[in-house]
């Protein structure tokens, strides 16, 4: 229905109006692109420097299997960052915003981490994915 209305509207417009409509669509697309770039930059700006350094160090290594991820959580009223492990049976480590290791809430041989923050899965609030390695194993 929308496509039909759009075609009908374009057909009935004068050529100057079509140019204006096309320019408006281009302007709209540029605004969306710019907003996405700003959102990406603001997300990067709020990543603590030491966390970004850890991410950069992982990105400089050969790609992990599975690829590395970093999630942000609110745990015990603190911003925390959960780094996935490099391979199977290793701990997924949780750091505060100053890169102090808090615990390993998951991973290891049992999959339950190191036991130092056993309430993590029930009390932590997910803020979102901070980073995922975009590379794949070749």
pLDDT tens per residue across span 15-69: 444 444 444 444 544 454 444 444 344 455 589 999 999 999 999 999 999 999 9
* Strand residue runs (E) in the chain: 69-75, 78-83, 91-96, 101-107, 125-132
pLDDT score recorded for residue 106 = 97
- Classify residue 96 by burial, with Cβ atoms within 10 Å: 0-12, 13-18, 19+: middle
Give the predicted TM-score (pTM) of the model: 0.68
| Residue 135: φ, ψ to 5° | -75, 155
Instruction: Provide the b/e sequence for 59-82 (b: ≥16 CB within 10 Å).
Output: eeeeebeeebbbbbbebeeebbbb
pLDDT at residue number 137: 80
The 3-state DSSP composition of the chain as helix, strand, coil percent (nearest 5) reads 40, 25, 35
The band of 9, judged by pLDDT with boundaries at 50, 70 and 90, is very low
What's the pLDDT tens digit per position in 107-116? 999 999 999 9
Q: Mean per-residue pLDDT for 106-132?
A: 97
CB atoms closer than 10 angstroms to residue 51: 23
- Average pLDDT (76-92) is 96
């Amino acid at each position: 229905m929308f496509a039909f209305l759009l075609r009908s509207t374009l057909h009935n417009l004068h050529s100057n109006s079509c140019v204006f409509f096309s320019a408006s669509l281009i302007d709209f697309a540029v605004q969306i692109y710019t907003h996405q770039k700003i959102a990406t930059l603001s997300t990067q700006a709020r990543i603590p420097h030491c966390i970004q350094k850890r991410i950069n160090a992982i990105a400089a290594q050969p790609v992990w299997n599975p690829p590395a991820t970093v999630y942000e959580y609110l745990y015990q009223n603190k911003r925390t960052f959960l780094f996935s492990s490099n391979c199977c049976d290793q701990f997924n480590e949780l750091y505060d915003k100053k890169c102090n290791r808090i615990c390993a809430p998951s991973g290891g041989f049992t999959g339950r981490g190191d036991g130092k923050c056993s309430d993590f899965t029930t009390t932590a609030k997910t803020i979102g994915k901070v980073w995922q390695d975009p590379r794949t194993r070749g």
